[in-house]
Each structure stands twice: as structure tokens, then as C-alpha cells.
Amino acid sequence: MASFRVRPRFEIESKKTMDEIIQLVKEKLKHNTHNLHGQAMQDHITIRVNKSHRHYWSPQLSILMQRESGDNETKITGIYGPMPNVWTLFALGYLAIGVLITFISIIGFSQRALGNECKILWMIPVLATIAALMYLSSQMGQKLGAAQTYAIHYFFEEALGEPLPEV
């Protein structure tokens, strides 16, 4: 897994139809030894780690399939990412930091323009440091979930019966 990729992804085209792919994944999920479970319906597949083997940084694979118009090929787009609760926590954290930096900048630079003390501007590097630490912790978490990411990747590759690009 390459470093510094927030949500690794792949994109391939398969000669199989969406229904064939869904059936292959459902069959493989019934008889898998990778401690995985998932859902496969219509044009979307989600593969997750079983709750008994899941930890905070466990990944999931979301697959979206599209039938190319006029072709007999199915375009498969897969995105590896954290569980939705982890993703939401980090997104809200970054949003809060961004909003705080914006308001602190407005207040601080307004005070500075008026010739007043603007000690509040010292909060900007502190918040930037917190954002950097959040990013580093997400990278660490991605490394902790790397083995499970590869397990999901190879599981889907086996189910599909076609090679997937490396993650």
C-alpha cells in the first residue's frame, strides 16, 4: 500500500456482467476463510471485516459497478476506506479546525488592523499542528489496517477471478 494515500482506489473493466460479479462475490462470501462479510446488491458491493476481528482502524471496500454503454464490459471502481464512523470523526475534526482557523484569522487580523494586541493568532499554528497530528494518526491507522486491506483486496480478486491493480 502506497503511503500518503487517504483512500486507496482501483478501477478496472471486466467482461463479466454486474449480476455475474454479484453472484461470484455472494458465493465467495458464503465460503470465505478471510473473516469477511459483506453486501452485494444491484450495482454496489461492500466488503467488511467480521466484527470479531474488527478494530478501530479496520478498512472496508466499497465497489461501484457501471455498465459501459454499448460495451459488454462492466466498469468496477473500488475504494478502500475506514469504517464510516472513523471517516466521519476525521471529517468533522478537519471541518472544526478549518472553521476555527477561519474565525480566529478574522478576529486576529481585524484586531491587528485596529492596532490592538492579536495574541489569538497564536492559535493558528496550534490548530495546524493538531490537524497535522490527526493526519499522521490516520496514516498510522491505515498502516495498522494494511493487513486487513490486503485480505479484502485478495478476497475480491479471488471472487472476481481477474487480477486487480495493486493498492
Quote the CA–CA distance of 47 and 94 in Å, as a whole number. 27
As a whole number, mean pLDDT of residues 147-155 equals 93
Q: What is the pLDDT of residue 4?
A: 53
Q: What is the pLDDT of residue 92?
A: 97
Strand partners, 60: 48, 81
As a whole number, mean pLDDT of residues 141-146 equals 91
Please tell me the least confidently modeled range out of 42-46, 49-53, 67-71, 105-109: 67-71
Give residue limits of the domains in the chain. Answer: 9-82+146-160, 87-138
- Give domain 9-82+146-160's CATH architecture: 2-Layer Sandwich (3.30)
Percentage, residues of the chain above pLDDT 90 = 74
125-135 in b/e burial notation, b at 16+ Cβ within 10 A?
A: eeeeeebeeee
pLDDT higher than 90, residue 7: no
pLDDT in tens, 11-38: 999 989 899 999 999 999 998 888 999 9
pLDDT in tens, 51-93: 999 999 999 999 999 987 767 789 999 999 998 899 899 999 9
- Which grid cell sits at 106? 478574522
Q: What is the pLDDT of residue 114?
A: 96
Give the residue from 42, 156, 33, 73 showing the smallest Cα distance to 167. 156
Quote the CA–CA distance of 14 and 161 in Å, as a whole number. 10
Q: What is the pLDDT of residue 33?
A: 82
pLDDT higher than 90, residue 165: no
